[in-house]
Structure 1
Amino acid sequence: MILYSYRGDHDERVPSNVSHVIIEESVTTIKEEAFYNCHSLVSVIMGDSVHTIEFAAFSHCRALQFIRLSKTLKVIGIDAFRDCRSLNALFLPSTVNVIQGWSFQYCRSLRFLILPDDFNLSHVGNMIIRGTPIHQFAEAAGIGYEFDYPEATDGISPRINEWLFRHMDESPFHKGCYDSSITTRKVNDYLNEHGKASAFAVDAIHGMTPLHILAMNPYASADTIAALHISNTQAALSADNQGKTTLEYARDNNVGGMVEILMELCNHKNAAIPIEDTHSSQLGRLCCLPIPRLFHSCFQNDESKDPEPE
């Protein structure tokens, strides 16, 4: 693992062999092409002072799997995340009000992206999700891009952008769990109003429960994830339509949430809560480990992790 602290200096270019980045709290703008073609970059944690991501800042970071955006982010520039092929989900804070053209084009793993509730669609550029699984979801709904090379024809990007804005409206709890401002109180209020059965709902596009999405949300507190998990304990070990469990999403996106889920599962291991046989032996092994060993086990496939000391 090679850690780098980005300061936002003029013409600062991040070395291509860097794997993990922390963007300092003093940074307000990520400069154009600052991380361009950082082929080893896996994870980025962004300070909450960043307002703007400039042209192609993270373009061609093909190993990038996780990025926690600034809670005050406003502008995502042209080609900002183009060809980030390993990025599965991107959680946009509600402050984002401009997404320029081609910003997520060819992110070939990007399955999850929702525009903020009050987003002005006139501030979304052309073909932002072209070549992504989200684009395929839109095409399955009968909405796609038509081309008058090199740009989409007038009226087509607005249609698909409208779909992107609305496509999770039929799953309001899932959409709420995506929100950067999600809190334990909001989760409990929704469950009290709509009943605990709402925690078991599966959305039609991703095959996910609300807990799957909340576990992916890097802004969600561990307590908030625990509150929803208590309402649907079985969801932690239930797979979505990609074969991934809530526990796996938490491991990759929200380690605090992962610990809370594991602790709750361990507490109920011998209780009368059904756990599928395919997961029970693995859960039993995890529950018997002290926390340092538990973390090592959950990340044992991460070759960049230093070996645990004897």
Structure 2
Amino acid sequence: MRVATVDGLVTLFYDGSRELFNEELDEEWMQKAGDNGYDCETWEEWNLSNECKVYWRERETWQQVIVVDGVTEIPAWTFQRCKNIKRVIFSNTVVRIKQWAFSFCSSLFFIKLSINIEVIELGAFCNCNLTSVFIPPRCREIETAAFANNYDLTLFHVYPHTQLGMNLLSETKLMKDSPFKLNRLGDHRNTKEVNNFNWMKKINNDEKYSLHRVCSSYQPIKQDIHVIIQQEGLRAFAIKNKMGITPSRYLKENPFANVIEKDIIQDYIMKLMGELE
């Protein structure tokens, strides 16, 4: 485990060699938080043990986490309430993220998941600051509330075979702005949530949204995009789906995309002019 500055962020290179979560010190901190009305900005003034203060000071220094090769799972609660973490990049050896692992990381706005991720457990990324999430195709299960309370989350790409838990996206912009209606009972697994999941899993199952499907897929291929814009023209980049999202936004926010719209358009125009084979 080492710490270094990467891209201007204090970065923890997580190798799993040390247990980062201490249940006793977490409970001590939470008890004092309750006593102080959860005004957590003043925690340094609380009557905490020196050990507890050292523990939380370290957790607040981390701004980025890079999970190194060889790590296969992130243990439960490992980074819970590490409020200054902004980005997390997982190595492709990670297959499971356990419950509440990154919950309440209130500054976390970017994650790049392992392409081999299989399970994301209960509440793993709840109460973060994510705006877009792209789930790799090998993921077979995402448990209850894993991405709940990411209030500005508007892009969520998931494959049809992935099993989704209840309240997965509750209190997100995506659910609030969904074109589907709530059922009259308003139960936990309501019609709006189910219909929204079905719609997302089909990735806009309409021929006019073919560019959306390519741009939101895992590692979009430039050649596939060229085929579509040769048929539909560059206007296909401007077509919005039911959520008001364009293919350009899928491409821009997809952490697995190794192409950008500007390069695609430039190549397409050059080909039209006969300057590119």
TM-score using structure 2 length:
0.71
Q: Distance in 2 between matches of 1:158 and 1:57?
A: 26
* Residues 10 and 4 of structure 1, relative CA distance in 2, 3 Å threshold: closer
The answer to whether the 8 A contact 2:226-2:268 is kept is: no
- Alignment-derived partner of residue 236 in structure 1: none
Q: Say which of 220, 225, 228 aligns to 2:264.
A: 228
Q: Read off the aligned partner of 1:8 and give its amino acid letter.
A: G
Q: Output aligned runs, 1:84-163, within 5 Å.
A: 84=128, 86-116=129-159, 118-120=160-162, 123-138=163-178, 140-143=179-182, 146-147=185-186, 152=188, 158-163=194-199
Does 2:16 correspond to 1:8? yes
Q: Distance in 2 between matches of 1:21 and 1:145?
A: 43
Q: Distance in 1 between matches of 2:267 and 2:239?
A: 12
In terms of fraction of residues, the more strand-rich structure is 2
Counterpart secondary structure, 2:12:
strand
Q: Read off the aligned partner of 1:19 and give its amino acid letter.
A: Q
After superposing on structure 2, the runs of 4+ consecutive aligned residues of structure 1 that deviate more than 6 Å are none
Listed one character per residue, the Cα deviations across residues 67-87 of structure 1 (whole Å, up to 9, x for unaligned) are 111111111111011111x21
Give the deviation of 1:212 after TM superposition: 2.3
Q: Say which of 33, 36, 52 aligns to 2:77.
A: 33
Give the deviation of 1:15 after TM superposition: 2.0
Give the deviation of 1:136 after TM superposition: 0.8
The answer to whether the 8 A contact 2:68-2:90 is kept is: yes
Counterpart secondary structure, 1:197:
helix
Q: Say which of 61, 77, 84 aligns to 1:17.
A: 61
Q: Output aligned runs, 1:178-257, within 5 Å.
A: 178-206=216-244, 208-222=245-259, 224-230=260-266
Q: Distance in 1 between matches of 2:116 and 2:182?
A: 31
Q: Say which of 205, 211, 214 aligns to 1:169.
A: 205
* Residues 126 and 193 of structure 1, relative CA distance in 2, 3 Å threshold: same
The answer to whether the 8 A contact 2:203-2:212 is kept is: no
* Structure 2 unaligned spans of 5+: 1-8, 22-57, 270-277
Q: Distance in 2 between matches of 1:161 and 1:145?
A: 19
Q: Read off the aligned partner of 2:83 and give its amino acid letter.
A: H
The answer to whether the 8 A contact 1:32-1:54 is kept is: yes
Query: Over alpha carbons, which structure has the higher Rg?
Result: 2
Q: Read off the aligned partner of 1:180 and give its amino acid letter.
A: Y
* Residues 190 and 108 of structure 1, relative CA distance in 2, 3 Å threshold: same
Identity %: 21
Q: Output aligned runs, 1:73-84, within 5 Å.
A: 73-84=117-128
Counterpart secondary structure, 2:13:
strand
TM-score using structure 1 length:
0.64
The answer to whether the 8 A contact 1:135-1:144 is kept is: no
Q: Distance in 1 between matches of 2:190 and 2:250?
A: 33
Q: How many residues align?
A: 223
Q: Read off the aligned partner of 1:201 and give its amino acid letter.
A: I
The answer to whether the 8 A contact 2:85-2:107 is kept is: yes
Counterpart secondary structure, 1:16:
helix
Q: Distance in 1 between matches of 2:234 and 2:142?
A: 36
Q: Read off the aligned partner of 1:62 and give its amino acid letter.
A: S
* RMSD, matched Cα: 2.6
The answer to whether the 8 A contact 1:127-1:145 is kept is: no
* Structure 1 unaligned spans of 5+: 234-310
Q: Read off the aligned partner of 1:135 and give its amino acid letter.
A: M
Give the deviation of 1:210 after TM superposition: 1.7
